[in-house]
Chain A
Amino acid sequence: MIELRALTKSYATTHGRHYVFRDLSFTFPAGANIALIGRNGAGKSTLLRLIGGIETPDRGRVVTERRISWPVGLAGGFQGTLTGRDNVKFVCRVYGADRHDMADKVRFVEEFAEIGHYFDQPVKTYSSGMRSRLAFGLSMAFDFDYYLIDEVLSVGDAQFRQKSKMMLEEKLARANVILVSHNMNDVSRLCDIAVLVQDGQAILYPDVAEGIRAYQGGAVTLPEGARAPAQGDGANPRPRQSAA
């Protein structure tokens, strides 16, 4: 379970402070694959990064006991002058892999990425496709409870895409995913529930299809039995809301 507690996140812009979320409280149900959907700029990626601990809220907390990945397929996290192997080792060390564990993971990434002798060449000599292969392989080498995916499901050629898809599905047998995507096929294929991010609110749709309809329809129609969680906790509903 991942819980957002009174989360506020803003950015300074030239036109003053822009609030992405204001006092957003929300609970992601445990054991579900979650899609974050919404228009560009609605704050999906920001929410993903907040959950991943990459960005920190101005106020409020993200509370969870689960292990959460870095954004899957993050190709920017490599040091160009180091080899693919050294970059993989670096992440292994940060995530506390011991010697034996590290050898396994390095071998896994080497085999999965299929970039041949380039694995021992500096990353700056890679093509963008090779970088993506390395990045995706690296993400899959680690066991997390939640994998964060921001629009990078389709990298590489057809064969690699197929392989990545199967790998991810294998992972999802034991783990969950939080997916930001505009590709509704991916959303309905991978996810159990949808969370529509709109106007600084998060609205839970226990049925993905319904969430997609609400998103594509443009107007927010609350699902039956669901509530806009930002407007109050179920245990203590605010009286003013029922009066409205």
Chain B
Amino acid sequence: MTRSAWHIQKAVLFALYLRELKTRFGAHRFGALWLVLEPMAHVMVMVTLFSFIRDRVVPGVDFAVFLLVGLVPFFMFKSIAIRIMEGVEGNRALFSYRHITPMDVFITRALLEVLLYALVYALLLVAMGMYGLDVRIAHPMDALLAFAQMALFGFALGVVFSILVSYLPAAKIVIRIMFIPLYLMSGIIFPVARLPHDLLPWLLWNPLLHATELSRAAMFAAYPLVPGIDISYVPLWTLCALFAGLWFYRYRRFVLVANP
């Protein structure tokens, strides 16, 4: 009895998926609940904190919702990229089973993060709606697209990082730190429109700013989109990162699985 390649691929992804899920359950006492609570708590703390500091930044938009729409996709993006970066190390022993490749681990981890954060996103939006905030999504399809953009970009960058780290393990620290300025420069906790206008051309190099602004424009009906935001900018970055990542992956995949 031989299994088709597709059959094996499905079996491997499913097995890895359950394994990742259970591994994350097992690490904490709250188990399944913690899995959702952790990112949720993170977002809630930030939202509460910043809502007190400043209230209405964009007219007609609740600041808590404004933050949520910026934070959740960004956290998802960061989480996907970092978990893929660390995916090989955490699963090295698995590659002795011949069907399992690093790419399987990457895909599984990305999928799990997307599902988790989608759930967190939905739960928090509903919670805010029940609290009385305006959480109507103005352009649902655009919102979905913006979310998917973030996820794919995180995946592409994660693959690049995993290769980079395989050459240079110390890069891991730099990459982790890099997310802090990125967080500040992506217009997540304040609207970029508030910044001096001569800074804008520089800030617009950052693809995450584009992604964040697009998420907001999809959410709020009359959102003042920063001039220069381009819907094809993030996909372009994603494409380049995927190309580079997969190219090097092709050459590095055996080094990735080798025991150190």
Contacts and interface: CB of A to CB of B under 8 A. Distances in A.
Interface in A33-67: 52-56
Interface string A171-191: 000000000000000000000
A79 B7 CA distance: 24
Contacts of A54: 95-96, 98, 257
27 contacts: A52-B98, A53-B98, A54-B98, A54-B257, A55-B254, A74-B96, A76-B93, A76-B96, A77-B96, A77-B97, A79-B19, A79-B23, A79-B93, A81-B23, A89-B18, A90-B15, A91-B97, A93-B11, A94-B11, A94-B15, A94-B97, A94-B99, A94-B100, A95-B97, A96-B7, A96-B8, A96-B11
A96 B98 CA distance: 13
A82 interface: yes
B94 interface: yes
A53 B98 CA distance: 6
Nearest to A12: B255
A232 interface: no
B27 interface: yes
Contact of A82 (B8, B12, B22): B22
A70 B100 CA distance: 12
Contact of A90 (B7, B19, B26, B98): B19
Contacts of A91: 15, 97
Nearest to A11: B258
Contacts of A81: 23, 26-27
Interface of B: 3, 7-8, 11-12, 14-15, 18-19, 22-23, 26-27, 93-100, 254, 257-258
A28 B1 CA distance: 22
Given A81-B23, A82-B22, A122-B26, A55 B15 contact: no
B19 A82 contact: yes
The secondary-structure label for the interface of chain A is loop
Contact of A94 (B12, B26, B93, B258): B12
Interface of A: 52-56, 68, 70-71, 74, 76-79, 81-82, 86, 89-91, 93-96, 122
Contacts of B94: 77
Contacts of B14: 93
Contacts of B93: 76-79
Nearest to A87: B19
A45 B77 CA distance: 41
Contacts, number: 58
A86 B98 contact: no
Given A74-B96, A77-B93, A82 B7 contact: no
Nearest to B98: A53
Contacts of A90: 15, 18-19
B96 A70 contact: yes
A56 B258 CA distance: 10
Given A93-B18, A96-B3, A82 B23 contact: yes
Given A53-B98, A93-B11, 6 more contacts: A68-B98, A71-B96, A76-B93, A79-B19, A81-B26, A82-B19
Q: Which of B8, B94, B98, B100 has the most CB of A within 10 A?
A: B98
A167 B95 CA distance: 26
Contacts of B257: 54
Nearest to A65: B2
A244 to B, nearest CB: 36
Contacts of B98: 52-54, 68, 70
Nearest to A54: B96
A187 B12 CA distance: 35
Given A86-B22, A90-B15, A90-B19, A55 B258 contact: yes
Nearest to B26: A81
